[in-house]
Amino acid sequence: MSITSLSVSELRDQLVAKKISPLEALDALEARIADTDPKIHGYLSRDYQAAKALAEKADISLPLGGVPIAIKDVINVQGEPCTAASKILEGYTSTYDAGVIRKLKAAGAIPFGRCNLDEFAMGSSTENSAFGRTMNPWDFSRIPGGSSGGSAAVVAADEAFASLGSDTGGSIRQPAALCGCVGLKPTYGRVSRYGLIAFASSLDQIGPFTKTTRDAALLLNVIAGHDAHDSTSLHEPVPDYTADLGKDLKGIKLGMPKEYFISGIDPQVDQSVRAAIKHYESLGAEIVEVSLPNTEHAVGVYYIIATAEASANLARFDGVRYGRRAGSEKLLDMYADTRAEGFGPEVKRRIILGTYVLSSGYYDAYYKRAQKVRTLIRNDFNRAFEKVDALICPTSPEPAFKAGDRSDDPLKMYLADIFTIATNLAGIPGISIPCGFAETDGRKLPIGLQLMGRSFEEARLLQIAHAYEQSTDWHKARPGV
């Protein structure tokens, strides 16, 4: 087994046993990336020398001592680029560490590599990056999902032991499903957003991509917890998320939301997810049908609230304080030209839409009404969790699609997140784990199973996910890059 194919927990065992040094692990990654990333383009940049300096003094006794972790290029790491895959931040170097980066470094981890994404995390395919699209390691003609497509692709291709991404409407879980790895979106407020370039502040959450559920638990142990720099970070105790891994599912009730099993799902996805649900029954879980009646409004609500918050958050990118600046002589021209040159088409589209729904005469009709329906969606989940411990459904309605297939159809692209968006609106945790493959054009494409849980019950969610993972072999499959 090569070093780069190891999971985080396996690498930790090797490091502690002194069979591998942190520098050897880093060098193996660098060689793997040099060999495979030209085909995938999962990374935007890497600073080997900075990572080497951390590896040489890594404290192996710490929880993640000596483990390199890739970072989505929307999370600030001091001294590293942070472009959000946008021309408007091209050349910008971060002056501070995000809250999660401080926690990773304190746990001995080595931030290594900046992963590609849809510009400002706005997209579902990682085709909106100003610096080139990322390809799916299972089929180079297909997308890896988005917006954290780079973070998912590098883990799936063994170019990273684990990575961090952000999830605003499914941007961790959907690419994890399409690339065949584990993606965890924690409860809103569970992980600090300090140092994350904001897209939609009431929806954004940072979480891990990993090769196993145990690795996801290990990373969550480190990055979870209150951060005084983030006013939305909550004072909740952080349990040991690995403690319940391996427990059986006796007494566990899993809810099948009928609104998530609809016509239009790819038949192979539907078959694989239903097979996974039957497998859960064989493991001792009870399956209960539940209803989330306001699900049909989730996409519309999301694209009102998310764009409204984006239009406010992205107002700071004006060419005055940092990033790209147009060479216009007049101030107002400089503002307009900077944003016109710096933002890509999808970002402009969402800023315009968000400004519209917040404008005088339309605020009540759109934004205010969307917030009311968001409450109804949250209430649907609360009622469902009175009957079940977690919800189970597909992560994505279809496997990875061909690059370019939806570039001219934004509405069809938006529906790629139809099963993940409501989780962000409700603020609850969700996880995607591999559950099968679709055969398309002679290629195997991963299928993801999504589990959603009550707020701050990530430990229960990980326990349920781990039980399925360890009784199947789907998570062991690797693309033949």
Pick the closest to residue 100 from 199, 230, 214, 268 (CA basis).
230
**Cα(first)–Cα(last) distance of the chain, in Å?**
16
Percent share of the chain, pLDDT over 90:
95
Mean pLDDT (the chain) is 97
pLDDT for 413 equals 87
Is the pLDDT at 263 greater than 90? The verdict is no
- Verify cis geometry, omega within 30 degrees of 0, for the bond prior to 147: yes
CA atoms within 13 A of residue 177's CA, in its CB half-sphere: 36
CB 164 within 8 A of CB 131: no
Is the pLDDT at 126 greater than 80? The verdict is yes
Per-position b or e across 171-186, b if 16+ CB within 10 A of its CB: bbbbbbbbbbbbbbbb
Domain edges within the chain: 3-247, 295-375
pLDDT for 209 equals 99
**pLDDT digits 0-9 by tens, 382-392:** 999 999 999 99
pLDDT for 409 equals 83
Q: Determine the Cα–Cα distance for residues 427 and 173; give it in Å rounded to an integer.
A: 14
pLDDT for 412 equals 82
Pick the closest to residue 181 from 192, 168, 199, 165 (CA basis).
165
Q: List active site positions.
A: 72, 147, 171
pLDDT for 414 equals 84
**pLDDT digits 0-9 by tens, 402-461:** 999 988 888 788 888 999 999 999 999 999 999 999 999 889 999 999 999 999 999 999
CB 449 within 8 A of CB 276: yes
pLDDT for 271 equals 98
What's the count of helices (H) and strands (E) in the chain, helices before strands? 15, 11
- What single-letter amino acid sits at 60? I
| Class of the domain covering 3-247 | alpha beta
pLDDT for 350 equals 97
Mean pLDDT of 195-210: 98
**pLDDT digits 0-9 by tens, 161-185:** 999 999 999 999 999 999 999 999 9
